[in-house]
Amino acid sequence: MLADGYTLMHEHIHIDLSKVKNNVDCRLDCREETVAELKKLYAKGVRNITEVTNIGMGRDVRYVASVACETGINILCATGFYKEPFLPEYIYEKSERDIAGIMIKEITEGIDDTEIKASIIGEIGSSENAISDIEKKVFNAAIIAHKETGTPITTHTTLGKLGAEQIALFKKQNVDLGRICIGHLDLSGDMDYILKILESGAYVEFDTIGKNNYMPDDVRISMLLEIEKRNLIDRMFFSMDITRKSNMEHKGGIGYCYLFDTFIKNLLGAGFKTSSIEKILKENPKKFYGQTEDKH
């Protein structure tokens, strides 16, 4: 499933949240510029991207497939549903079983009448202050789809909050936490909280790297040094969660290459090990997707 090379575990190639957010910047559809940036990523050793845009987020798997073909990067697509208020209306009416059935079909048969099958369930999301009843329904449906297909789950936490509550939902249904990734936890800035989730056996994503307006990279670096010191680096992923036109290089944003051009250099300069970088970007994704034996 994954090609040999680096893997970014939480990105968007095409996403459109512009109607709900009433902001055209939230429609990422600049194909030519995306291809140019991803070709640069390829030159830096990136061979895989997990594209976590799902149903209701402006997903376009044909667009994504064309970008993958032109850049040589293996782009893995997602199934699932996001969070309120981005959920399709039918989610409020359908049962958990029916919602799970939609995901299972996309995993086993294909997405949007294509032969492109979903490789991951996500990003399954929760709101900032509470997981709503409808969001819990989606989590439960995702768990059904996971148990029936073995497909891993990746989540969205709003500003890094409620990761522990997400873990509780998975534990309640005896989900193997080694198949779960809790997203955006770098935005919490809370080391003790992150350590507890790592120690639960779940994966943790630092996936808003470079978004210093939300959380300074210096904080991310200090937390990563502590995680490395505690030998918990084998449950970590990196990404930048590019979602807006203004995130792109041609608009003056950080771009898809920021992780390699800036963050990793600063991280290594702070004393982080090269071997840890390799583990996070190469070994951990393969383990998560079930391509190597988990010896944790």
First to last CA, the chain: 21
The pLDDT score that the predictor gives to residue 56 is 97
Summarised one tens digit per residue, pLDDT across range 231-242 is 999 999 999 999
Q: What is the pLDDT of residues 219-263, one digit of tens each?
A: 999 999 999 999 999 999 999 999 999 999 999 999 999 999 999
Say if residue 85 is preceded by a cis peptide, omega within 30 of 0: yes
In contact, 280 and 263? CB cutoff 8 Å: no
3 state DSSP class of 28: strand
Strand ranges, E, within the chain: 6-11, 15-16, 27-28, 46-51, 74-79, 120-126, 153-157, 180-182, 203-206, 236-238
Using CA atoms, how far apart are residues 186 and 215, in angstroms rounded to an integer?
A: 8
Contact 182, 167 (CB under 8 A): yes
Tokens, residue 53: 């845009």
- SS3 category, 131: coil
Give this prediction's pTM. 0.97
Mean pLDDT of the chain: 97
d(CA 272, CA 238): 14
Beta bridge partners of 153: 121, 180
Q: Verify cis geometry, omega within 30 degrees of 0, for the bond prior to 226.
A: no
> Long-range contacts for 101-110 (Cβ within 8 Å, ≥24 apart)?
102/55, 103/79, 103/141, 103/142, 103/145, 104/145, 104/148, 104/149, 106/79, 107/79, 107/145, 107/149, 107/151, 108/149
H or E element at residue 278: helix 274-278
Evaluate if residue 191 carries a pLDDT over 80: yes
The tokens of 183 are what? 């997203």
Q: Residue 75 is encoded by which pair of tokens?
A: 């782009």
CB-facing half-sphere around the CA of 55: CA atoms within 13 A: 21
Measured between alpha carbons, how far is 126 from 138 in angstroms, rounded to an integer? Answer: 10
Which tens digit of pLDDT belongs to each residue from 142-190? 999 999 999 999 999 999 999 999 999 999 999 999 999 999 999 999 9
